[in-house]
Amino acid sequence: MHRMARFPLLPALLLAVASALVPATVADPQATLLNLGCSQYNATPTAGFLAALNTTFAELRANLSTGSGFATASEPRAAAPAFAMAQCRPYVTGRDCVACFDAAAVRTRTSCGAANGGRAILDGCVIRYESAAFFDQTTLPGNTQLCNGSAVAGGGFDGAVRALVGELTAVVPRVSGLAAAAAGSGVYAMAQCVETIGMGGCAQCLEVASRNIEACSPNSDGRAVDAGCFMRYSDKRFFPANATVDLAPYLRSGEFTAFTHYIHHLCFAVSC
């Protein structure tokens, strides 16, 4: 809370496409910038922090280059400690993941200067760094939705968005890697948590994100950003068909009963 007070997620949307940064060999790193934030405090000593940051970023990049899709790195004993995290969406893999990381790192390096914290959330990946550990943070003030497009005609879209968002919210805390993409009734959706927040933290974060993103429906595109998780839906496919997960086996398990009650509760909270 204290640390977040000086590093809120920017409520304003900063949108840009960094496709010019991407080599032609890369398929689609999904480098659209969604949210950029810098701490308002400079690191001290600045040079020590930037050196430690350089080391952690090199470690993150090396880790992602092995295909892991999620990495943390820290220099806790440096003159000015640095902690950093990077995560790619489950369908942004291999060179695309590394290209997205590079695009995100350019964003924070260009915008955050000597700040002792920074975050860039892109469609394809997220990076964050701080002068103190943050790997267990779930939902923080500044969590918000990013809505785009106009209302989808036809009537069924809003219900289909709510159904798929609800299913992902229930299932993703229980799947390995804390991420899943799914499609149904003309809606494509995904949810992902930072792997270090665990099952309980993921459920907590996605409850907030699902409430945020549902406010975008029936518009064609919605995203929800937070410190510990990310959600996105669209009426257009944004991941390969073979990236989807069959949610049915998870939904058939007992835990979903408890969740349907919670969905009702959420719906009352947003008067739906």
Ligand X SMILES: *[C@@H]1O[C@H](CO)[C@@H](O)[C@H](O)[C@H]1NC(C)=O
Binding site for ligand X (CB under 6 A): 15, 32, 50-51, 54, 63, 66, 68, 70-72, 148, 221, 240, 242-243
Residue with the two structure tokens 């943070």: 137
Q: From the CB of 102, what's the least distance to ligand X, in Å?
A: 11
Question: By C-beta, is 72 or 212 nearer to ligand X?
Answer: 72
Give the C-alpha distances (Å, rounded to integers) separating 134 from 23, 53, 73. 32, 15, 11
Q: Give me the least distance between CB of 36 and ligand X, in Å please.
A: 13
When the beta carbons of 106 and 267 are compared against ligand X, the nearer one is 106
Peptide bond into 8 cis (omega under 30): no
| DSSP state letters, 204-234 | HHHHHHHHHHHTTTTEEEEEEE-SSEEEEEE
Q: Determine the Cα–Cα distance for residues 202 and 158; give it in Å rounded to an integer.
A: 24
Q: Least distance from C-beta 123 to ligand X, angstroms?
A: 7
Q: Which C-beta is closer to ligand X: that of 51 or that of 267?
A: 51
Q: How far is the CB of 209 from ligand X (least distance, A)?
A: 16
Bond from prior residue into 218 cis (ω within 30 degrees of 0): yes
* Residue 72 or 137 with smaller CB distance to ligand X: 72
Check: CB of residue 188 under 8 Å from CB of residue 269: no
Q: How far is the CB of 242 from ligand X (least distance, A)?
A: 4
Q: Taking the complex as a whole, how short is the minimal distance between the CB of residue 52 and ligand X, in angstroms?
A: 9
Most distant pair of Cα atoms in the chain: their distance = 59
**Burial of residue 145, with CB atoms counted within 10 A of its CB: 0-12 exposed, 13-18 middle, 19 or more buried:** middle
Of the candidates 154, 269, 149, which has an alpha carbon nearest to the alpha carbon of residue 212? 269
Q: Which is nearer to ligand X, 70 or 101 (CB)?
A: 70
What is the DSSP-derived secondary structure letter of residue 190?
Answer: E
| Closer to ligand X by Cβ: residue 7 or 238 | 238
Amino acid found at 112: C
Least distance (Å) between residue 89 CB and ligand X: 13
Return the number of the residue (194 or 266) whose C-beta is nearest ligand X: 194
